[in-house]
Amino acid sequence: MMPPLRLAGTLIPAMAFLSCLKPESWEPCVEVVPNITYQCMEVNLYKIPDNIPSSTENLDLSFNPLRYLGNRNFSKFPELQVLDLSRCDIQAIEDDAYWGLNHLSTLILTGNPIQHLGLGAFSGLSNLQKLVAVETNLDSLENFPIGHLKTLKELNVAHNLIHSFKIPGYFSNLPNLEYLDLSNNKIRNIFHEDVQVLHQMPLLNLSLEISLNPIDFIQPSAFNGIRLYGLTLRNNFNSTNIMKTCIQGLAGLEVHQLVLGEFRNERNIENFNKSSLEGLCNLTIGEFHLAFLDDSPDNTIDLFNCLANVSAISLVSKTTISVSVLSVLVVSAVVVLVYKFYFHLMLLAGCKKYGRGESTYDAFVIYSSQDEDWVRNELVRNLEEGVPSFQLCLHYRDFIPGVAIAANIIQEGFHKSRKVIVVVSQHFIQSRWCIFEYEIAQTWQFLSSRAGIIFIVLQKLEKSLLQQQVELYRLLSRNTYLEWEDNALGRHIFWRRLRKALLDGKPWSPEAAADAENCQQEATTAT
């Protein structure tokens, strides 16, 4: 065991050294996009690291114990556009905390137990479009200091302690507001005076989300004359009677999209009756969606006679969801199969079209472009200029300009050829196009009774390399193939065997066949 004095002599200098280190030197943040995007999520930060550049546009500081935002806390980042402060245990935000963030468009404060919010807490945010204040202990919109945020489009204050639906007068200063989420709060009643400001505003683009509030009462005609883009009421009512009364309270509302019902896993109303929806006849609705309230098929028959002018009606239930999911899966599977076998289907259609006609070419040659010298100087010269003469289909010469390569391969290559010559090499195995052509050739051979594939192996191939293409490896293992040998005897045997394979099935007149046989014997003797 180390003596106490010696241990102290070791620890004290080490502690002194560590105390001089700045936390920022540990570089806790991840640089997602250099100088632009930084993620500092859950790294136990008590303040913003000094080594984050001022050019940063996206900054994620979520799940750090920041606890307090003081005056001009982020003034170092004038280019900031997105700031995520979720669950940072922020309890106080002082005036001008975000001063200088003139480009900030999204501010996320989810899950912070805010106790103090300065009246000027959001000052300087001249371009803020989205503010998320979910689970922030907010108990009222009236004291929320956002009336100056004229560019605000989306305000999310779900999962809070808001008891009143009172829409404050400052909302008239938010002309661009498109979405207000008040879901999962404590709202029980909606009175005429609560929505008075909505009567004064042409909010044609505003959608209200007030699901999961235990609403007991909506004052009749409270929404009369109000125009909204969307209104969502899901899991708000504990009985069909309350639901019926509240829907009647919506009389006079003009709304483009109305969503009523419940969530699949949270059911309040057990025995839904379509009479609960009679009050819908007093609304002007563009689209109507009813979710998880139509358990009984009888309820869906002749349900909305008074909604003849509604452009779209959808009923969502556990029958419809399973059918929809199954339909999506089937369609997706068909699309994938068609995409995967599109060229094979083209080949099948072509085989029916060209199946009985005479072939233009004796063989379509599949090869890697890196083996083109051998194809030109050996294969073409010996087969097309030799005796007998064979006509080959070559992509660089016979494909039609302006037509897709794949279409040329199928229409000019396979459909108009008696056979296919596959020139296998290391380059061939590593080429996607070559493998694609080879796979189509297999389908072609299967579909056409007269088709045949002749394999030519240019050089010895490593077994491990060849095994990368399992089907090709198995095919070469089971079938006879030609192997190119660049010597006199090897060349002689190679060309004789290849010509014999190409002559199989080639239409010849008796005279031409005799002449070709004589010429071949003379060439063999001369060799």
Cβ-based neighbours of 115, under 8 Å, separated by 6 or more = 91, 92, 137
Closest CA to 71 of 54, 50, 93: 93
- What is the token pair recorded at 337? 């199969």
Q: Which whole-number Å values give the CA distances from 496 to 123, 366, 379, 491, 519, in the listed order?
A: 89, 20, 13, 8, 12
- What is the token pair recorded at 194? 């609560």
Neighbour-count burial of 486, counting CB atoms closer than 10 A to its CB (0-12 exposed, 13-18 middle, 19+ buried): exposed
CB 142 within 8 A of CB 168: yes
pLDDT of residue 341: 53
CB 286 within 8 A of CB 253: no
Tell me the residue ranges of DSSP E strands in 367-480: 392-393, 417-424, 452-457
Question: Residue 91 CA to chain centroid, in angstroms?
Answer: 37
- Beta-bridged to residue 421, according to DSSP, are 365, 454
Cβ-based neighbours of 67, under 8 Å, separated by 6 or more = 46, 88, 89, 90, 91, 92
Consecutive H or E run containing 433 = helix 432-447
pLDDT of residue 459: 75
- Note the pTM of the prediction, 2 decimals: 0.58
Query: Cα(319)–Cα(296) distance, rounded to whole angstroms?
Result: 11
pLDDT of residue 410: 75
Q: Which whole-number Å values give the CA distances from 153 to 132, 150, 207, 524, in the listed order?
A: 11, 9, 11, 87
- Helices (H), strands (E): how many in the chain? 15, 23
Buried b (16+ CB within 10 A) or exposed e, 441-477: bbbbbebbeebebbbbbbeebeeeebeebeebbebbe
CB 421 within 8 A of CB 363: yes
Closest CA to 121 of 95, 91, 147, 148: 95
- What is the token pair recorded at 526? 């001369």
- Beta-bridged to residue 393, according to DSSP, are 364
Q: What is the DSSP letter of 400?
A: P
CA angle 502, 500, 348 (to 5 degrees): 25
In tens digits, the chain (527 residues) has pLDDT values of 445 445 445 444 444 443 444 333 446 888 888 899 999 988 999 999 888 999 999 999 999 999 999 999 999 999 999 999 999 999 999 999 999 999 999 999 999 999 999 999 999 999 999 999 999 999 999 989 999 999 999 999 999 999 999 999 999 999 999 999 999 999 999 999 999 998 877 656 899 999 999 999 999 999 999 999 999 999 999 888 899 999 999 999 999 999 998 887 766 776 777 788 888 989 999 998 888 775 544 444 455 566 666 777 776 665 744 445 556 666 656 655 554 555 555 555 555 455 555 678 889 898 888 889 999 999 999 998 887 889 999 988 888 887 777 777 777 777 888 888 989 888 887 777 787 777 777 776 666 655 588 888 887 666 666 666 666 767 676 677 888 888 888 888 899 999 988 888 777 554 444 554 554 454 444 43
Q: What are the phi and psi torsion angles at 397 (to 5°)?
A: -115, -35
- What is the token pair recorded at 281? 């006849």
**Three-state SS sequence of 244-292:** HHHHHCCCCCEEEEEEEECECCECCCCCCCHHHHHHHHHCEEEEEEEEC
- What is the token pair recorded at 517? 């046989």
Superfamily of domain 361-506: Toll/interleukin-1 receptor homology (TIR) domain (3.40.50.10140)
Neighbours of 265 (CB within 10 A): 7
- Ranges of each domain in the chain: 326-353, 361-506
CB 104 within 8 A of CB 128: yes
Q: What are the phi and psi torsion angles at 229 (to 5°)?
A: -80, -45
